[in-house]
């Protein structure tokens, strides 16, 4: 076992394939729950060389491998961008496998179509099927793996890793692998499988005194048939899930050995470096280029007019950037009517004017909102605005590309390696199969790296020059010429009964991207609700930004609900509680929040509190923010958050994500804004696109509720949406001033 020749390995795999999959007909069509390499036409042998190249390594199944030193490696399809997905997915797999945590390693799955995260595809394409009846599972999963492959959905986003890939693939893979190990040991020892216990990567049969590490049966296990619906653990049996296990990626990030996309130094390639200038106004092109000064500058190799951008390739990045700064570029005229943000809001307003009180596309409707508004004792109306926002990840956008002999190799930080591959393929005319994407850690993304235009740009420069090229965008390029969280405007109306109860709700806005339900105040029991979209053109290109539509809709909806509460003369938290009377989870979250924030007690001297609650990505999060306005400017002192994700797999990691979401949301609420001048973005770098400083961040306390038998929710995004409205509502409570647009800081100078 410890000396496996390639031949032996090959024969073992072939046998597994035949017995495990062709033999089990149901699996052939729908046996995809366990991942890849488990169906005809996609033999595990072809993947073995990619993920288990080491001598003595035996691939037990596609999501886990066990080597001769008894090290279990979880092969994780999602990328690691600081959110901790690698570690927690391994934790989930290792728990079902009964693996020793200190002998578990994580490996990034290669950018191969076999690793599409079919469950994530399902969540994006048809969320209602995730909780489909058991008997539909094989059908749905097969369908979505095909769909996912065709749409390149090897994707990390949507706060989805745990609740889709983790719950429905990694755990099943771990449990199936455990069963196969047990089966192999039972055969060898001649004892019933049911009498074999597993723990810490060791198999034990107490009665016969047999005991062996997993590695001893890894090869034999591969010949066992695979159960496509292995029994999963119940919560009382968890040993790793639900525990704050230390993240596997932290040591390398602390000691500096972790490799991010920008660190790529491909072996055997001598890199040149590219710096680029893209059009200041979206959609324009280079009409003339004067590079005479750059030609004489040190280190410069080539200067390229690529049509929609200019690149300088030099011996070092700094030389390339300095040289490209001196290139005089004339750009074509933009056809966009938007030159300033006033113009953009005028475009929104025109669309909303046209939609009027009942027009636009109905996104959701319940009861008869127009009639109920007409009959309401009190009608509130308000117009809210949200600005464009940049993602501003710490690691600048970058991509290293090499195009030679009809093949292309890419090293980059991406959330979508297969989409990036397709974009490169269509851009430089090389087939996807001849393109290899290497994707190490991401130094932040927040949705920015769901777009792949920078990858295609690097491939074009590499193809044109013939050199292996590392392209790095300056911070200014990333701030001013990227993809953005949309600006939007929402007009809202609320009808209150004599007693102040919210009996009618109507909103109309112009932007609806994802998730589809983000614009609907569905958590509240409002008898008459109308939600409408009056589409309007965006001047800046859109890209999903942490929590996507929830990021602006959370602010619109939860600020307006607060207005209704105050108009009704009711405490804002009690007002919300009354509207979630029949939703026990939401009620429990708000009650817990009232308790930990001492909501019903007196405020600390000079402070006031605001509350907001948003359910997003399967997780309910309510937040209270406390502000001190005594200086005339908002000073955030405390933030309390209560989250119900159904079940939290790693409490420390979950809190970490909620805190991150809150800080990201408060940064945007206080400072986030991109202004336009002559159609181009004014802000350029962190000095004018500000982040919250450490001393501006409130104390944050996060409480978790594991409410029970419901689908597990996400962590990466749900902390963000309540942050801005909770802050704005706190400022209202302190000052009586209602903030209907963001950012906040500049409104208090």
Contact set with other proteins (CB under 8 A): 124-128, 151-153, 270, 272, 285-286, 289, 291, 295-308, 315, 321-322, 325-326, 364, 416, 419, 422-423, 426-427, 450-453, 456, 460, 464, 467, 475-476, 512-517, 544, 677, 680, 682, 684-685, 687-688
Identity of the residue, 80 or 549, whose beta carbon is nearer to other proteins in the bound complex: 549
Q: How far is the CB of 326 from other proteins (least distance, A)?
A: 7
Strand-strand pairing, 300-305 and 202-205: unpaired
Identity of the residue, 308 or 706, whose beta carbon is nearer to other proteins in the bound complex: 308
| 596: Cβ contacts below 8 Å, ≥ 6 apart | 640, 642, 701, 703
Q: How far is the CB of 528 from other proteins (least distance, A)?
A: 17
Which residue from 204, 187, 188 is spatially nearest to 196, judged by alpha carbons?
204
Q: How far is the CB of 663 from other proteins (least distance, A)?
A: 22
Gap between the Cα atoms of 174 and 197, Å rounded:
15
Identity of the residue, 310 or 723, whose beta carbon is nearer to other proteins in the bound complex: 310
How far is residue 65 from each of residues 391, 418, 648, 677, measured CA to CA in Å?
A: 36, 23, 26, 55
Identity of the residue, 653 or 716, whose beta carbon is nearer to other proteins in the bound complex: 716
Give the number of C-alpha atoms closer than 13 A to the C-alpha of residue 60, restricted to the C-beta side: 34
CB 650 within 8 A of CB 715: no
Identity of the residue, 544 or 565, whose beta carbon is nearer to other proteins in the bound complex: 544
Gap between the Cα atoms of 489 and 198, Å rounded:
57
Q: How far is the CB of 291 from other proteins (least distance, A)?
A: 6
How far is residue 554 from each of residues 141, 177, 551, measured CA to CA in Å?
A: 32, 42, 6
Q: How far is the CB of 179 from other proteins (least distance, A)?
A: 35
| 42: Cβ contacts below 8 Å, ≥ 6 apart | 36, 114
Identity of the residue, 316 or 637, whose beta carbon is nearer to other proteins in the bound complex: 316
Which residue from 731, 381, 729 is spatially nearest to 559, judged by alpha carbons?
729
Which residue from 481, 436, 485 is spatially nearest to 454, judged by alpha carbons?
481
End-to-end CA distance of the chain: 72
CB 376 within 8 A of CB 503: yes
Residue 703, number of CB atoms within 10 A of its CB: 18
Residue 107, number of CB atoms within 10 A of its CB: 15
Identity of the residue, 212 or 522, whose beta carbon is nearer to other proteins in the bound complex: 522
Identity of the residue, 420 or 666, whose beta carbon is nearer to other proteins in the bound complex: 420
Residue 307, number of CB atoms within 10 A of its CB: 9
Identity of the residue, 126 or 188, whose beta carbon is nearer to other proteins in the bound complex: 126
CB 618 within 8 A of CB 55: no
Q: How far is the CB of 494 from other proteins (least distance, A)?
A: 23
């Amino acid at each position: 076992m410890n000396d496996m020749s390639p031949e032996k390995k090959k024969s073992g795999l072939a046998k597994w394939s035949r017995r495990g999959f062709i033999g089990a007909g149901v699996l052939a069509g729908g046996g995809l729950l366990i991942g890849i390499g488990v169906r005809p036409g996609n033999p595990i042998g072809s993947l073995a060389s990619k993920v288990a190249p080491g001598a003595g390594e035996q691939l037990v199944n596609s999501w886990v491998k066990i080597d001769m030193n008894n090290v279990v490696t979880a092969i994780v399809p999602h990328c690691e961008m600081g959110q901790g997905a690698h570690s927690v997915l391994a934790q989930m797999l290792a728990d079902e496998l009964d693996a020793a945590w200190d002998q578990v390693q994580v490996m990034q799955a290669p950018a191969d179509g076999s690793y599409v995260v079919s469950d994530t595809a399902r969540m994006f394409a048809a969320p209602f099927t995730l909780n489909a009846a058991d008997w539909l599972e094989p059908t749905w999963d097969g369908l979505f793996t095909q769909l996912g492959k065709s749409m390149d959905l090897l994707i990390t986003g949507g706060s989805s890793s745990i609740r889709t890939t983790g719950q429905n693939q990694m755990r099943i893979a771990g449990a199936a692998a455990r069963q196969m190990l047990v089966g192999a040991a039972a055969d060898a020892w001649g004892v019933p499988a049911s009498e074999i216990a597993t723990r810490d990567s060791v198999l034990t049969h107490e009665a016969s005194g047999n005991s062996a590490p997993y590695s001893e049966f890894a090869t034999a296990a591969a010949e066992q048939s695979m159960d496509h619906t292995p029994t999963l653990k119940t919560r009382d049996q968890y040993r790793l899930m639900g525990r704050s296990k230390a993240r596997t990626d932290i040591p390398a990030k602390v000691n500096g050995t972790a490799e991010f996309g920008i660190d790529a130094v491909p072996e055997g390639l001598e890199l040149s470096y590219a710096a680029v200038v893209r059009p200041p106004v979206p959609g324009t092109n280079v009409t003339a280029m004067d590079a005479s000064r750059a030609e004489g500058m040190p280190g410069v190799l080539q200067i390229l007019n690529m049509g929609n951008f200019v690149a300088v390739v030099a011996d070092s990045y700094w030389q390339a950037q300095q040289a490209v700064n001196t290139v005089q570029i004339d750009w074509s005229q933009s056809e966009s009517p938007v030159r300033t943000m006033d113009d953009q809001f005028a475009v929104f307003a025109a669309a909303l004017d046209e939609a009027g009180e009942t027009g636009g596309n109905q996104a959701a409707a319940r009861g008869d909102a127009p009639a109920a508004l007409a009959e309401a004792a009190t009608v509130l109306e308000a117009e809210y605005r949200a600005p464009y926002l940049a993602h501003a990840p710490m690691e600048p956008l970058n991509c290293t590309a090499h195009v030679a002999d009809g093949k292309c190799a890419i090293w980059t930080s991406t959330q979508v390696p297969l989409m990036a591959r397709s974009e490169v393929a269509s851009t430089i005319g090389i087939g996807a199969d001849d393109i290899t994407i290497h994707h190490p850690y991401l130094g932040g993304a927040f949705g920015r790296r769901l777009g792949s235009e920078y990858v295609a740009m690097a491939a074009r420069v590499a193809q044109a020059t013939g050199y292996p090229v590392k392209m790095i965008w300056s911070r200014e390029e990333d701030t001013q010429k990227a993809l953005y969280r949309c600006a939007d405007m929402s007009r809202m109306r609320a009808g209150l009964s004599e007693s102040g109860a919210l009996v009618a709700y109507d909103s109309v806005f112009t932007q609806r991207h994802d998730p589809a339900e983000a614009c609907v105040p569905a958590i509240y029991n409002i008898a008459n609700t109308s939600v409408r979209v009056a589409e309007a053109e965006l001047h800046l290109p859109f890209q999903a930004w942490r929590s996507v539509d929830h990021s602006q809709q959370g602010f619109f909806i939860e600020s307006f609900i607060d207005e209704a509460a105050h108009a009704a003369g009711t405490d804002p938290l009690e007002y919300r509680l009354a509207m979630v009377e029949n939703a026990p989870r939401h009620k429990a979250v708000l009650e817990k929040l009232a308790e930990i924030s001492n909501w019903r007690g007196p405020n600390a001297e000079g402070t006031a509190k605001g509350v907001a609650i948003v359910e997003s990505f399967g997780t309910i999060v309510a937040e209270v923010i406390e502000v001190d306005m005594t200086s005339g400017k908002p000073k955030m002192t405390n933030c309390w958050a209560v989250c119900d994700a159904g079940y939290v797999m790693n409490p420390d990691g979950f809190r970490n994500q909620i805190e991150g979401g809150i800080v990201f949301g408060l940064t945007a609420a206080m400072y986030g804004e991109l202004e336009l001048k002559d159609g181009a973005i004014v802000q350029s770098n962190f000095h004018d696109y500000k982040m919250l400083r450490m001393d501006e961040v409130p104390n944050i306390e996060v409480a978790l509720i594991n409410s029970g038998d419901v689908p597990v929710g996400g962590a990466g995004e749900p902390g963000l949406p309540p942050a801005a409205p909770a802050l704005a509502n706190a400022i209202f409570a302190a000052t009586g001033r209602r903030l209907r647009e963001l950012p906040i800081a500049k409104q208090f100078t």
